[in-house]
Structure 1
């Protein structure tokens, strides 16, 4: 079975978040909420802080959409805190970082590189029922775009709340949608 449309598997991970003590997160904590799992290879690296900072700039927008964000690497929650305390870019970030040193999340989402023990650069959007709706995986040298992630989440939320409608390519909030039917076949 493909990962799109599958339900997230049970997990428990310890999180670090600015201004909070360490805390545990499980799949049960996400029930009824949208969530982003933003996997990256490792703390104290090169492309990763630029992506994480970019996502941090969209965190308030995502929160406004009812979306919780989790940065995930196979580092520990202690490493996440140390990186937050020593990096200008990471120190600005308000969303939570999950430690995945046992590789539970990376294996559950199918992004663990067994040969290195690191996660691929991957994004998963999970709906309030725990179902994976969006996936993006890039090579290690290619950073992601948080503005595009926000656009895709808005489209996924629209489709969820408007059964029978779909969002065409480059759809923006407020734009025209499609209602798939036999009448549209060959006319688009």
Structure 2
């Protein structure tokens, strides 16, 4: 699995960006939103139970990520059409403010090393990538356990200070000074 300090892989994927059939899809690459911090979070499957709780939670924090010059991308190995159908039929996902990437060939998830060995779907992996494309944070959860998007936001805040941040540090608090 790729980890902190590694370059995030190049990719070129179709994405679902709205529920409107006329403008529902877009092409997203590693060069999209160049120069910004990027949050990539992966989930196992569309039309499941834990996944929409996480996706909706990231959606609610999207403005907070944008305020920090960061963009959010959600992804799974489902197609853009499955993503679209899920958004249309799930109330919490209809107005989702970020793209849902379709890694149907499993190229990106394979290169990242986040495919579950038994199920062949993405683990609940999250990557925080800096503006130069370097992975600065990785977290991976079991298929059955949802993650905490608020913790990803806190981690982004800490990374953006470029300072030493103690345990449970929150934006606005003092950082550590090396002696």
Report the TM-score range of the alignment, normalised by the length of the smaller protein. Answer: over 0.9
Among 147, 170, 173, the alignment partner of 1:172 is 170
Higher Rg of the two aligned structures: 1
Q: Secondary structure in 2 aligned to 1:46?
A: coil
- Identify the structure with the greater helix proportion: 1
- Count of matched residue pairs: 176
The alpha-carbon deviation at position 115 of structure 1 amounts to 3.7
Does the alignment pair 1:80 with 2:107? no
Among 21, 27, 30, the alignment partner of 1:27 is 30
The alpha-carbon deviation at position 114 of structure 1 amounts to 4.4
Moved >6 Å (runs of 4+): none
- Consecutive unaligned residues of structure 2, counting only runs of 5 or more, are none
The alpha-carbon deviation at position 85 of structure 1 amounts to 0.3
Structure 2 partner of 1:186: none
* 1:150/1:11 CA distance change after superposition, 3 Å: same
Structure 2 partner of 1:162: none
Structure 1 partner of 2:64: 61
Q: Secondary structure in 2 aligned to 1:144?
A: coil
**Contact 2:114–2:123 at 8 Å: present in 1 too?**
yes
- Consecutive unaligned residues of structure 1, counting only runs of 5 or more, are 160-164, 184-188
Does the alignment pair 1:10 with 2:10? yes
Partners of 1:120 and 1:11 in 2: CA distance: 18
The alpha-carbon deviation at position 113 of structure 1 amounts to 2.2
Q: Deviations over 1:43-94 (max 9, x none)?
A: 0001001111111110111111111111100000111011000001121311
Structure 1 partner of 2:53: 50
Q: Secondary structure in 2 aligned to 1:177?
A: coil
TM normalised by structure 1 equals 0.88
* 1:2/1:76 CA distance change after superposition, 3 Å: closer
